[in-house]
Chain A
Amino acid sequence: MILEQYLPIIIGTIFYISTYLIVTLSLNLEAGYAGIPDFGKMMFVAVGAYVTLNLVPRVTGYLLGVDTTGLTDSNKNIRIMEEINSRLVGRYDVAAVTFIVSIVLAMGVGALFGYLASRPAIRLRGDFLAISLLAIAEIVRQMGIHTDFIAGGEMGLYAPNIFFWYRHDVVVALLSLALAVATFLLLERMANSPLGRLLRAIRDDEDAAKALGKDVTKIRTRIIMLSSAIAALVGVLAVYYSLGGTAKDFDRVTWTFWPWAMMIAGGMANNVGVLVGTLLIVIPHQLIFMYKHAIASYVPFDPAWLEKILVGMVVIIILYVRPQGLVPEKPSRTISYVRVRDFLEQAEKE
């Protein structure tokens, strides 16, 4: 009984922690390790969602023999999606292909957007890059809201329910958790690899890295592309979680500022810190969401505004009290002395 009552909020918490962990980890790769101030993060999440709402159903429709012309017209969209969903039941092959296509397409388009959006200012001082990414992200959002052919405009679009064999929200939440763990392990490994040390070198002294023959612009571009591709995954997950979406869902506060706040709070250039920061902000958010009505009786306004103020203040206070974050950056792990010695001994024998 109690479990059933709290299940939605538990599933929601798992989903939000996982998706925010993925976005913040990808942001940490850019901003924490490589020193790229990506203030346009929301654009890459949104792009992943646009792809899943607009392009992927066309593929699914083609496989199922459903006519998808007029998909982005909000009147026709409902009927097309009902048709797709009814034919999709039991077609595990189509569901699997749809899922793989959405992941591949979203990551590809995310990387492409990362490349294009970073182009104007990648060679300039960090603040120019921050400004241009923020501006482009706002425009991607506005285009999504004002034009129907991207993501259905104000009304938004529906997405196919490819997890028809169980509760889709549970499946997507668990899938997100698995992807978050995978992202964490991948990025943790990258951070401790020579690449991770190279990124820190570029962040700390660009000229020195250049003098050592590193192509700073190329490396930065690739990191932005990788990070944007990972962020686009979250757009896919968000769409499958709510079986649809609008461009309005992806705004500067929720998908740019929040990941930044989590990273700043937890500690930049430390993936464990990112995890701490994510928990630190998502859990209170879920609590405020749960007890919204209780809080609303104490304050004479919508608690959502109070939350904005609180998160903003947390960031400023942490920057003042503990600029390095709760879990500060650590030197990257290298191979232990014992293993190096064993390796050398073995090499001598041979």
Chain B
Amino acid sequence: MIGISTIFFLETLAYASTLALLSLGLSLTYTTTRVPNFAHATIASIGTYVLLTVVGLMRLRGLNIYLYSIPAAFITVGIITLLQYVLVLKPLADRGNGLIGLMISTLALDIILMGVINIYADFLLQTFKAKKVKLQVRDQPALRSYDARIELFGQNVNVSGLVAFATLIAVAILLWLLLNKTKTGIAMRAAIENPALAEVLGVNVNRMYMLAWFLAGGLAGVGGVFMGMVQKISPAMGALLIVSVFAGSIAGGITSVFGSMLGGLLVGFAENFGPYYSSLLLNMDMTGYDKMFSLGIIVVVLLLVPGGLASLDLSGLKKRLPLLRAGGVEVSGE
């Protein structure tokens, strides 16, 4: 890496992997209900609060943090997202609400969850005070000092970046196996591509969508865990994160699950390396402008290739890279 320290690279890797997990989930839900879930980033910050709770109350250090908080966040946030689909989106769609109604309901849920997280933070503050835990619930700096450390290229670094990227790769492989090699996954893809036909063939479309929403939420929760390891923890962290998550999904092609994953990685790297290199290049401080790079990506992609990376014609490449093709779902040029 030219001029980039190992630590900075690993932090970026953690952030980019987080965004990839979130963008991937966002696409998974988008392909089912065709509604962009504006609550997705706030849902991920629930995962961050699960991390904070687990670390604070169980007094964890090192790799144990990941061992406990990842499953806890996956299940908690997965269930919350499943409830969003079952209790809010599905009934509203059944009542005949159009795209605008469904979108505003996800925005409403975003606001509700922000309120809930704030209330939970107050509650957590009381608990931490009672148990004498030295953690903040608002504006807590990233939990870097709690992380496990290893020796890499002669430097003592946090493992968060490596764990996050390994998790992302594992998730990608498992998801690819699920979607392509199991009956459930094939049924899910069928339900996404043509719900009516899938239903005729005996696929319970609603149950498949529920599974998709649960997975998407769970992955967002896992993303939230890594987020807390490299970024400041506050109840409002989702408000800005949503820009990056959508940038990732749009860059990769919002209807392509694996395209979105690559898009998320791309946006994560662009947001960290973009300001770094442009600061060097322009000889001025660009650190506050990281989101401008994701905005730039959104604008360029929407203007030039609205279908995102996944819509680019890579037929030659696709044959050699089955992973890219496994998104499987059609990409409309709209």
A binding-site residues for B, Cβ under 8 Å: 31, 35, 37, 39, 119-121, 124-128, 130-132, 134-136, 138-139, 142-143, 146-147, 251-253, 256-257, 260-261, 264, 268, 300-302, 305-309, 311-313, 315-316, 319-320, 323
Contact = CB atoms under 8 A, between A and B. Distances in A.
B325 interface: no
A39 B105 contact: no
Ranked 10 nearest A-B pairs via Cβ:
A308-B115, A312-B112, A309-B115, A146-B288, A315-B108, A120-B302, A312-B108, A312-B111, A305-B115, A305-B118
B314 interface: no
B250 interface: yes
Contacts of A131: 36, 246, 250, 298
A257 B299 contact: no
Interface in B93-122: 95-97, 99-101, 103-105, 107-112, 114-116, 118-119, 122
A117 to B, nearest CB: 10
B239 interface: yes
Contacts of B92: 316, 319-320, 323
A316 B108 contact: yes
Given A257-B107, A316-B105, A139 B114 contact: no
Contacts of B118: 301-302, 305, 308
A308 B114 contact: yes
B104 A127 contact: no
Contacts of A31: 100
Contacts of A256: 107
Interface of B: 34-36, 38, 88, 91-92, 95-97, 99-101, 103-105, 107-112, 114-116, 118-119, 122-123, 239-240, 242-243, 246-247, 250, 288, 291-292, 294-295, 298-299, 302-303, 306, 334
B36 A142 contact: no
Given A136-B295, A302-B118, A313 B112 contact: yes
A307 B306 CA distance: 38
Interface majority SS on A: helix, strand, loop or mixed? helix
Contact of B288 (A119, A120, A147, A311): A147
A264 B116 CA distance: 22
B145 to A, nearest CB: 26
A256 B240 CA distance: 15
Contacts of A301: 118-119, 122-123
Contacts of A251: 239
Most buried by B among A136, A138, A146, A300: A138
Contacts of B292: 139, 143
Given A31-B100, A120-B303, A138-B243, A39 B109 contact: no
A300 B118 CA distance: 12
A252 B91 CA distance: 26
A39 B306 contact: no
Contacts of B100: 31, 35, 37, 126, 268
Contacts of B243: 134-135, 138-139
25 contacts: A31-B100, A37-B100, A39-B38, A39-B107, A119-B303, A120-B298, A120-B303, A127-B35, A131-B250, A134-B242, A134-B246, A135-B246, A143-B292, A264-B101, A264-B104, A302-B122, A305-B116, A305-B122, A308-B111, A309-B116, A312-B111, A315-B105, A319-B101, A320-B92, A320-B95
B295 A135 contact: yes
Contacts of A139: 243, 291-292, 295
A138 B239 contact: yes
A124 B334 contact: yes
A39 B99 CA distance: 13
Contacts of B240: 138, 142
A257 to B, nearest CB: 6
Contacts of B109: 312, 316
Nearest to B109: A312
Nearest to A130: B103
Contacts of B122: 300-302, 305
Contacts of B108: 257, 261, 311-313, 315-316
Nearest to A128: B302
B207 to A, nearest CB: 22
Contacts of A316: 88, 92, 105, 108-109, 112
Contact of B104 (A146, A305, A315): A315
Contacts of A147: 288
A113 to B, nearest CB: 14
Contact of A252 (B88, B239, B303): B239
Contacts of B246: 131, 134-135
Nearest to A256: B107
A40 to B, nearest CB: 11
A132 B299 contact: yes
Given A125-B334, A131-B298, 11 more contacts: A39-B38, A39-B103, A124-B302, A128-B250, A131-B36, A132-B302, A146-B288, A305-B116, A305-B118, A308-B115, A311-B108
A31 B118 CA distance: 30
B251 to A, nearest CB: 12
Given A135-B243, A320-B95, A127 B103 contact: yes
Contacts of B97: 319, 323
B232 to A, nearest CB: 14
Most buried by A among B96, B118, B123: B118
